Chains A and B, each alone.
Chain A
Amino acid sequence: MPMLHTINKSPFERGALESCIRLATKGSSVILIEDGVYGATKGTNASSMVENAMKDLSFFVLGSDLKARGVDESRLIDGVTVVDYSGFVKLSVENDKVQSWL
Protein backbone atom coordinates (compact mmCIF):
# COMPACT_ATOMS: atom_id res chain seq x y z
CA MET A 1 0.00 0.00 0.00
CA PRO A 2 2.08 2.94 -1.21
CA MET A 3 2.13 5.97 1.01
CA LEU A 4 2.72 9.63 0.26
CA HIS A 5 5.09 11.13 2.79
CA THR A 6 5.27 14.90 3.25
CA ILE A 7 8.35 16.65 4.62
CA ASN A 8 8.09 20.33 5.44
CA LYS A 9 11.39 21.10 7.16
CA SER A 10 14.93 21.43 5.91
CA PRO A 11 17.12 18.36 6.58
CA PHE A 12 19.59 20.71 8.25
CA GLU A 13 17.01 21.83 10.79
CA ARG A 14 15.17 18.59 11.53
CA GLY A 15 15.68 14.85 11.31
CA ALA A 16 12.28 14.34 9.65
CA LEU A 17 13.63 13.64 6.15
CA GLU A 18 16.16 11.17 7.54
CA SER A 19 13.52 9.40 9.65
CA CYS A 20 11.13 9.28 6.74
CA ILE A 21 13.73 7.70 4.50
CA ARG A 22 14.54 5.19 7.22
CA LEU A 23 10.89 4.17 7.63
CA ALA A 24 9.34 4.56 4.18
CA THR A 25 8.75 1.35 2.27
CA LYS A 26 9.83 0.73 -1.32
CA GLY A 27 7.45 2.18 -3.84
CA SER A 28 6.33 5.08 -1.68
CA SER A 29 6.50 8.73 -2.66
CA VAL A 30 7.98 11.64 -0.79
CA ILE A 31 6.94 15.23 -1.43
CA LEU A 32 9.11 18.03 -0.09
CA ILE A 33 7.11 21.15 0.74
CA GLU A 34 7.68 24.43 2.59
CA ASP A 35 11.21 24.48 4.07
CA GLY A 36 11.52 20.81 3.13
CA VAL A 37 12.34 21.80 -0.46
CA TYR A 38 15.97 22.42 0.47
CA GLY A 39 16.28 18.64 0.83
CA ALA A 40 15.85 18.37 -2.93
CA THR A 41 18.92 20.44 -3.81
CA LYS A 42 22.20 18.92 -4.97
CA GLY A 43 25.63 19.41 -3.50
CA THR A 44 24.52 19.53 0.10
CA ASN A 45 25.33 17.32 3.08
CA ALA A 46 21.90 15.74 2.65
CA SER A 47 22.03 15.12 -1.10
CA SER A 48 23.56 11.65 -1.03
CA MET A 49 20.99 10.51 1.52
CA VAL A 50 18.24 11.54 -0.90
CA GLU A 51 20.05 10.18 -3.96
CA ASN A 52 20.43 6.77 -2.30
CA ALA A 53 16.81 6.77 -1.21
CA MET A 54 15.70 7.40 -4.77
CA LYS A 55 16.42 3.74 -5.55
CA ASP A 56 13.30 2.83 -3.59
CA LEU A 57 11.31 6.04 -3.28
CA SER A 58 9.99 8.63 -5.72
CA PHE A 59 10.81 12.21 -4.78
CA PHE A 60 8.71 15.24 -5.58
CA VAL A 61 9.11 18.88 -4.67
CA LEU A 62 6.48 21.63 -4.54
CA GLY A 63 7.43 24.20 -7.19
CA SER A 64 5.78 27.16 -5.45
CA ASP A 65 7.91 26.62 -2.35
CA LEU A 66 11.10 26.37 -4.46
CA LYS A 67 10.28 29.61 -6.25
CA ALA A 68 9.43 31.41 -3.03
CA ARG A 69 12.89 30.57 -1.72
CA GLY A 70 14.72 31.49 -4.90
CA VAL A 71 15.81 27.91 -5.53
CA ASP A 72 16.21 27.41 -9.26
CA GLU A 73 15.15 24.04 -10.65
CA SER A 74 18.66 23.62 -12.04
CA ARG A 75 19.84 23.14 -8.45
CA LEU A 76 17.66 20.10 -7.92
CA ILE A 77 18.95 16.55 -7.57
CA ASP A 78 18.42 14.66 -10.84
CA GLY A 79 15.26 12.66 -10.76
CA VAL A 80 13.30 14.85 -8.37
CA THR A 81 10.02 15.84 -10.00
CA VAL A 82 8.66 19.36 -9.56
CA VAL A 83 4.90 19.50 -9.00
CA ASP A 84 2.40 22.25 -8.36
CA TYR A 85 -0.46 22.09 -5.85
CA SER A 86 -2.66 20.16 -8.25
CA GLY A 87 0.20 17.68 -8.54
CA PHE A 88 0.36 17.50 -4.75
CA VAL A 89 -3.35 16.73 -4.64
CA LYS A 90 -2.92 14.11 -7.36
CA LEU A 91 -0.14 12.42 -5.40
CA SER A 92 -2.34 12.23 -2.33
CA VAL A 93 -5.06 10.57 -4.41
CA GLU A 94 -2.75 8.14 -6.19
CA ASN A 95 -1.22 6.90 -2.94
CA ASP A 96 -3.31 5.07 -0.36
CA LYS A 97 -2.67 7.47 2.48
CA VAL A 98 -0.61 10.48 3.48
CA GLN A 99 1.85 10.70 6.36
CA SER A 100 3.17 14.10 7.39
CA TRP A 101 6.58 14.03 9.09
CA LEU A 102 6.27 17.05 11.35
Chain B
Amino acid sequence: MSDTKKFLFVNRKAPYGTIYAWESLEVILISAAFEQDVSLIFCDDGVYQIAKGQDTSELGIKNFSPTYNALGDYDINKIYVEKESLDARGLTVDDLLKLTYEDEDDDWAEKDSIHVVSSAELAEIMDQQDVVLSF
Protein backbone atom coordinates (compact mmCIF):
# COMPACT_ATOMS: atom_id res chain seq x y z
CA MET B 1 0.00 0.00 0.00
CA SER B 2 1.39 3.34 -1.04
CA ASP B 3 2.64 5.75 1.53
CA THR B 4 1.97 8.66 -0.83
CA LYS B 5 -0.47 11.20 0.46
CA LYS B 6 -1.80 14.38 -1.07
CA PHE B 7 -0.22 17.12 1.04
CA LEU B 8 -1.68 20.60 0.87
CA PHE B 9 0.16 23.65 2.18
CA VAL B 10 -2.11 26.64 2.65
CA ASN B 11 -0.48 30.06 2.61
CA ARG B 12 -2.72 32.95 3.65
CA LYS B 13 -0.39 35.46 5.27
CA ALA B 14 1.73 38.26 3.87
CA PRO B 15 5.52 37.93 3.94
CA TYR B 16 7.89 39.68 6.37
CA GLY B 17 5.29 41.02 8.83
CA THR B 18 5.47 37.54 10.32
CA ILE B 19 7.77 34.57 9.72
CA TYR B 20 5.04 32.15 8.67
CA ALA B 21 5.64 32.58 4.94
CA TRP B 22 9.34 31.77 5.20
CA GLU B 23 9.06 28.96 7.73
CA SER B 24 6.24 27.34 5.75
CA LEU B 25 8.46 27.41 2.65
CA GLU B 26 11.08 25.53 4.68
CA VAL B 27 8.52 22.80 5.41
CA ILE B 28 7.48 22.68 1.76
CA LEU B 29 11.07 22.16 0.63
CA ILE B 30 11.59 19.38 3.18
CA SER B 31 8.39 17.70 2.01
CA ALA B 32 9.95 17.28 -1.43
CA ALA B 33 12.35 14.72 0.04
CA PHE B 34 9.45 12.54 1.11
CA GLU B 35 8.06 12.09 -2.42
CA GLN B 36 4.52 13.03 -1.49
CA ASP B 37 1.95 14.55 -3.83
CA VAL B 38 2.39 18.20 -2.85
CA SER B 39 0.13 21.12 -3.71
CA LEU B 40 0.46 24.71 -2.58
CA ILE B 41 -2.31 27.23 -2.27
CA PHE B 42 -1.80 30.96 -2.06
CA CYS B 43 -4.95 32.82 -1.13
CA ASP B 44 -5.96 35.87 0.90
CA ASP B 45 -2.78 37.76 1.85
CA GLY B 46 -0.76 34.67 0.95
CA VAL B 47 -0.74 35.86 -2.68
CA TYR B 48 1.67 38.58 -1.57
CA GLN B 49 4.26 35.92 -0.71
CA ILE B 50 4.90 35.27 -4.40
CA ALA B 51 4.74 38.86 -5.58
CA LYS B 52 7.72 39.79 -7.71
CA GLY B 53 10.12 42.63 -7.00
CA GLN B 54 10.67 42.00 -3.30
CA ASP B 55 13.65 43.99 -1.98
CA THR B 56 14.35 43.71 1.71
CA SER B 57 17.71 45.48 1.65
CA GLU B 58 16.54 48.38 3.80
CA LEU B 59 15.00 46.11 6.41
CA GLY B 60 17.87 43.83 7.14
CA ILE B 61 15.54 40.84 6.73
CA LYS B 62 16.54 38.05 4.39
CA ASN B 63 14.70 38.18 1.07
CA PHE B 64 13.56 34.62 0.70
CA SER B 65 11.42 35.10 -2.43
CA PRO B 66 14.13 33.74 -4.77
CA THR B 67 13.71 30.41 -3.01
CA TYR B 68 10.27 29.96 -4.58
CA ASN B 69 12.07 29.58 -7.91
CA ALA B 70 13.61 26.35 -6.65
CA LEU B 71 10.26 24.66 -6.14
CA GLY B 72 10.15 23.44 -9.73
CA ASP B 73 13.47 21.66 -9.28
CA TYR B 74 11.98 19.84 -6.30
CA ASP B 75 9.00 18.59 -8.31
CA ILE B 76 6.67 21.00 -6.56
CA ASN B 77 4.70 22.38 -9.45
CA LYS B 78 1.08 22.35 -8.36
CA ILE B 79 0.78 25.92 -7.16
CA TYR B 80 -2.71 27.33 -7.03
CA VAL B 81 -3.47 31.01 -6.61
CA GLU B 82 -7.03 32.15 -5.93
CA LYS B 83 -8.26 34.64 -8.50
CA GLU B 84 -10.65 36.31 -6.04
CA SER B 85 -7.71 36.99 -3.71
CA LEU B 86 -5.70 38.55 -6.53
CA ASP B 87 -8.65 40.66 -7.68
CA ALA B 88 -9.39 41.89 -4.17
CA ARG B 89 -5.79 43.12 -3.98
CA GLY B 90 -5.64 44.65 -7.44
CA LEU B 91 -3.16 42.04 -8.63
CA THR B 92 -2.87 39.85 -11.70
CA VAL B 93 -0.68 36.86 -12.47
CA ASP B 94 1.78 39.30 -14.06
CA ASP B 95 2.51 40.71 -10.60
CA LEU B 96 3.65 37.31 -9.42
CA LEU B 97 6.96 35.52 -9.72
CA LYS B 98 7.22 33.34 -12.79
CA LEU B 99 7.51 29.89 -11.27
CA THR B 100 8.15 27.09 -13.70
CA TYR B 101 9.16 23.45 -13.84
CA GLU B 102 10.46 21.09 -16.51
CA ASP B 103 7.96 18.43 -17.44
CA GLU B 104 9.88 15.17 -17.77
CA ASP B 105 6.83 13.59 -19.42
CA ASP B 106 6.89 16.21 -22.15
CA ASP B 107 10.50 16.28 -23.28
CA TRP B 108 11.47 18.53 -20.34
CA ALA B 109 9.36 21.38 -21.71
CA GLU B 110 9.27 24.35 -19.35
CA LYS B 111 5.79 24.91 -17.96
CA ASP B 112 4.11 27.25 -15.52
CA SER B 113 3.73 25.94 -12.00
CA ILE B 114 1.27 28.66 -11.04
CA HIS B 115 -2.39 28.12 -11.86
CA VAL B 116 -4.77 30.95 -11.16
CA VAL B 117 -8.08 29.36 -10.22
CA SER B 118 -11.50 30.49 -9.05
CA SER B 119 -12.73 30.04 -5.48
CA ALA B 120 -14.95 27.18 -6.60
CA GLU B 121 -12.03 25.40 -8.29
CA LEU B 122 -9.83 26.01 -5.24
CA ALA B 123 -12.49 24.53 -2.98
CA GLU B 124 -12.50 21.36 -5.08
CA ILE B 125 -8.71 21.17 -4.97
CA MET B 126 -8.72 21.52 -1.17
CA ASP B 127 -11.33 18.80 -0.92
CA GLN B 128 -9.17 16.30 -2.80
CA GLN B 129 -6.24 16.50 -0.39
CA ASP B 130 -5.35 14.01 2.35
CA VAL B 131 -3.58 16.26 4.81
CA VAL B 132 -3.63 20.04 5.17
CA LEU B 133 -0.89 22.07 6.82
CA SER B 134 -1.52 25.67 7.87
CA PHE B 135 0.94 28.20 9.22
| Chain A positions near chain B (C-beta within 8 angstroms) | 1, 3, 15-16, 19, 22-25, 96-102
Contact = CB atoms under 8 A, between A and B. Distances in A.
B132 A98 contact: yes
A24 B134 contact: no
Contacts of B44: 15, 19
Interface in B37-52: 43-44
Interface string B106-129: 000000000000010011101111
Contacts of B128: 1
B134 A22 contact: no
B130 A23 contact: no
Interface string B1-26: 00000000010110000000000000
Nearest to A15: B44
Given A97-B130, A97-B132, A101-B12, 11 more contacts: A1-B128, A3-B126, A16-B12, A22-B123, A23-B126, A25-B127, A99-B126, A99-B132, A101-B134, A102-B13, A102-B135
Contacts, number: 42
Interface of B: 10, 12-13, 43-44, 82, 84, 119, 122-124, 126-132, 134-135
Contacts of A99: 10, 126, 132, 134
A60 B132 CA distance: 20
A97 B124 contact: no
A57 B129 CA distance: 19
A96 to B, nearest CB: 8
A100 B135 CA distance: 9
B12 A102 contact: yes
Contact of B12 (A3, A19, A96, A97): A19
B133 to A, nearest CB: 9
B119 A22 contact: yes
A86 B124 CA distance: 29
Contacts of B135: 102
Contact of B134 (A1, A23, A102): A102
